[in-house]
Amino acid sequence: MTDLELIEYAEKQIHSGSLLSREQIVQLLGIAPGSEAWTALGRAAHRAAMDLTGGRAYLWGAIGVDFAPCSMNCDFCSLGEKWGIVGDRREYDEAETVRQVREYAESGVRWIVLRTTEFYSQAQLGEMIRHIRAQVPGPYELGLNIGEFGLETANWLAGCGVDFIYHSLRLGEGKDTRFAPQNRIDTLRAIQASPLKLVFLVEPIGVEHTDEEIADICLLAADCGAVVSGAMARIPVPGTPLGVYPQLSDERMAQIIAVIRLACGSCVPDICIHPGTRLAMEFGANVTVVETGAIPRDACCCSGGKWHQFDTVRAGELFGQAGYTVHQTA
Question: Segment near ligand SF4 (CB under 6 A), from 71-79, 105-113, 251-259, 265-273?
Answer: 71-79
Residue 157 to residue 144: CA distance in whole angstroms: 9
Backbone Cα Rg of the chain? 19
Please say which residue, 110 or 115, places its beta carbon nearer to ligand SF4: 115
Question: Segment near ligand SF4 (CB under 6 A), from 18-26, 77-85, 267-275, 279-287?
Answer: 77-85
Is 8 within 8 Å of 1 (Cβ atoms)?
A: no
Q: Which residues contact 181 (CB under 8 A, 6 or more apart)?
A: 169, 173, 174
Q: How many residues make contact with ligand SF4 (CB under 6 A)?
A: 10
Give the torsion sign (CA, 124, 129, 131, 136).
Answer: positive
Is 66 within 8 Å of 121 (Cβ atoms)?
A: no
Is 294 within 8 Å of 68 (Cβ atoms)?
A: yes
CB of 24 to ligand SF4, least distance (A): 31
Please select the residue that binds ligand SF4; options are 49, 74, 242, 272, rule is CB under 6 A. Answer: 74
Site for ligand SF4 in 277-296 (CB under 6 A): 296
Please say which residue, 73 or 155, places its beta carbon nearer to ligand SF4: 73
The strand pair at 66-67 and 90-91 is best described as antiparallel
CB of 298 to ligand SF4, least distance (A): 12
Is 37 within 8 Å of 31 (Cβ atoms)?
A: yes
Please select the residue that binds ligand SF4; options are 10, 79, 171, 272, rule is CB under 6 A. Answer: 79
Please say which residue, 206 or 316, places its beta carbon nearer to ligand SF4: 206
Please say which residue, 73 or 122, places its beta carbon nearer to ligand SF4: 73
CB of 76 to ligand SF4, least distance (A): 7
Asked if 171 interacts with ligand SF4 (CB under 6 A), we say no
Asked if 80 interacts with ligand SF4 (CB under 6 A), we say yes
Residue 268 to residue 87: CA distance in whole angstroms: 39
CB atoms inside a 10 Å sphere around CB 123: 10
Question: Segment near ligand SF4 (CB under 6 A), from 22-30, 65-73, 88-96, 310-318?
Answer: 65-73
Asked if 64 interacts with ligand SF4 (CB under 6 A), we say no
Please select the residue that binds ligand SF4; options are 33, 50, 73, 227, rule is CB under 6 A. Answer: 73
Please select the residue that binds ligand SF4; options are 6, 10, 29, 70, rule is CB under 6 A. Answer: 70
Categorise residue 304: left if φ over 0, alpha if ψ from -120 to 50, beta otherwise.
Answer: left
Question: Segment near ligand SF4 (CB under 6 A), from 76-84, 236-244, 280-288, 322-330?
Answer: 76-84
Report the first-to-last Cα separation within the chain, whole angstroms.
36
Please say which residue, 124 or 321, places its beta carbon nearer to ligand SF4: 124
Site for ligand SF4 in 111-130 (CB under 6 A): 117-118
Site for ligand SF4 in 176-235 (CB under 6 A): none
Alpha helices (runs of H) in the chain, residue ranges in sequence order: 3-12, 22-29, 36-53, 94-106, 122-135, 151-160, 181-192, 211-223, 250-264, 278-282, 312-321
- Site residues for ligand SF4 per CB under 6 A: 70, 72-74, 77, 79-80, 117-118, 296
